[in-house]
Amino acid sequence: MSALLSGEELALRDSVRAFLDRKIAPLVRDHEQAHTFPWDLLPEVYACGYVRGGVPEALGGDEFPMIAQAILMEEAGRCWGSLRTTVNVQGMVARIVAAAGTAEQRERFLAPVLAGRRFGWFALTEPGAGSDAGSLRTRAKRTAGGFIVNGSKIYITNALGCDFGILFARVVGEDDADEGVTALLVDRAESAYGVHDIPHMPLRATTSCELTFDDTFVPETNVLGEIGGGLALGMGAVNVGRLNMAMGAVGLSQACLEESIRFCTQREQFGKPLAAFQLVQQMVVEIATLTETSRLLGYQAARAIDAGEPGRYECSMAKLYCGESAGRAATLALQVHGGAGLMEESPVERYFRDAREATIPEGTSQIQILHLGKALLGQSAMR
């Protein structure tokens, strides 16, 4: 794929890969087993362009083109799924605060996020509202000086490790008039809410949490953007999140390919390397083909955004194909490894678990199909 990248883009890929291989990769196994995450290393990770790359230079970011951010996410996915999802969420939070925050909000939240001193959660999904984000039931009722929030959110990545977050809630007036879904900055230091982890299969160094709000007060100064403008803010971030998920899946497929090549060239059966067997070659070639075609779709989506296009169609297609392909690549990699691939000491055991997540967050594969169907046929199958 070197012909698709400029010299500067190739240098970015190589330097980030070298950093992650040297600094992060040796820590993965221990953190996965302990279900912990090295939050203290994120400032060094951000120095590579993660999180800061999606924020304008005028606001303290690095303002990377989308293709550079796509390269970064691919390398994060190749290294460690838990890292990829962590920087993805922090990047979404940073983008929204940069785009809609007041000067005071940017000083309180954005600047410390970019420095790796504060970490934020992104709370859109509810127990009864996942793909249908417009049906949110969490309510923020107007009161003197702010809002009283009641409701819950679910599957919120790393909420246990964060000290604030962006909450999407339906604002209602004192007469119960619906004023629309609104983004609120919820600071743990001033607003009490419940948070607990839900044990989950993939990304074991992250938490996937339920948040509960029981008459939680949020100051009026913490409204992010316009009242009723929350869904537009949230879905704008989710579109980039889809590309990030897609490129993370490309990186995971690349890791499956590399580990499969390493294993089958070293392992012998029936007096010759596994690599010499035709059916093994077939599986490795399929992994390689899935990886390369996924990368093409991801790069195309990134280039579309850099060209000034919305990129929604391209991001949805990349999210659909790359996520499904990563699952297939991980299945094949595990099959290449045989019984060894089922053991936790093998990286493909982790790849297999993490790949299953690639088809769900930021819109399931089925939701992406419906978005693409509407774009192609002009008819919505949802509403």
Asked if pLDDT for residue 352 goes beyond 80, the answer is: yes
Asked if pLDDT for residue 38 goes beyond 90, the answer is: yes
The two three-digit tokens of residue 232, written as one number: 């537009």
CATH number of 136's domain: 2.40.110.10
**Residue-number span of the structural domain to which 348 is assigned:** 232-377
What is the Cα 50 distance to its own chain's centre?
A: 12
Asked if pLDDT for residue 49 goes beyond 60, the answer is: yes
Question: Based on the domain organization, do 189 and 178 belong to the same domain?
Answer: yes
Question: Based on the domain organization, do 237 and 357 belong to the same domain?
Answer: yes
Q: pLDDT band at residue 4, thresholds of 50, 70 and 90?
A: confident
Question: Based on the domain organization, do 236 and 214 belong to the same domain?
Answer: no
Looking at 119, 136, 171, the residue that finishes a domain is: 119
CATH number of 17's domain: 1.10.540.10
Spatial distance between the Cα atoms of 163 and 189, rounded to a whole number of angstroms: 8
Asked if pLDDT for residue 159 goes beyond 80, the answer is: yes
Question: Based on the domain organization, do 217 and 258 belong to the same domain?
Answer: no
CATH number of 363's domain: 1.20.140.10
Least confidently predicted of 66-80, 218-232, 266-280: 266-280
Asked if pLDDT for residue 62 goes beyond 80, the answer is: yes
- Is residue 383 one of the residues assigned to a domain? no
Percent of the chain topping pLDDT 90: 92
Looking at 227, 245, 272, the residue that finishes a domain is: 227
Question: Based on the domain organization, do 217 and 298 belong to the same domain?
Answer: no
- Is residue 276 one of the residues assigned to a domain? yes
Question: Based on the domain organization, do 9 and 84 belong to the same domain?
Answer: yes
Question: Based on the domain organization, do 242 and 144 belong to the same domain?
Answer: no
Asked if pLDDT for residue 24 goes beyond 60, the answer is: yes
CB 301 within 8 A of CB 240: no
Percent of the chain topping pLDDT 70: 99
Question: Based on the domain organization, do 154 and 277 belong to the same domain?
Answer: no
Report the predicted TM-score, pTM, of the whole model to 2 decimal places. Answer: 0.95
Looking at 119, 147, 180, the residue that finishes a domain is: 119
Question: Based on the domain organization, do 111 and 212 belong to the same domain?
Answer: no
| Average pLDDT value over all residues in the chain | 96
What is the Cα 49 distance to its own chain's centre?
A: 15
pLDDT digits (tens, 9 = 90+) for 128-142: 876 776 789 999 999
Per-residue pLDDT at 174 = 80
The closest of 231, 235, 259, 237 to 354, measured between CA atoms, is: 259
Question: Based on the domain organization, do 113 and 125 belong to the same domain?
Answer: no
pLDDT digits (tens, 9 = 90+) for 359-370: 999 889 999 999
Asked if pLDDT for residue 235 goes beyond 90, the answer is: no
Spatial distance between the Cα atoms of 32 and 37, rounded to a whole number of angstroms: 8
The closest of 34, 367, 72 to 247, measured between CA atoms, is: 72
The closest of 296, 237, 230, 252 to 54, measured between CA atoms, is: 237
Per-residue pLDDT at 1 = 57
Per-residue pLDDT at 320 = 98
- Is residue 205 one of the residues assigned to a domain? yes
Q: pLDDT band at residue 282, thresholds of 50, 70 and 90?
A: very high
Question: Based on the domain organization, do 153 and 242 belong to the same domain?
Answer: no
Counted domains in the chain = 3
Catalytic residues: 362
- Is residue 196 one of the residues assigned to a domain? yes
Least confidently predicted of 53-57, 212-216, 379-383: 379-383
Question: Based on the domain organization, do 252 and 139 belong to the same domain?
Answer: no
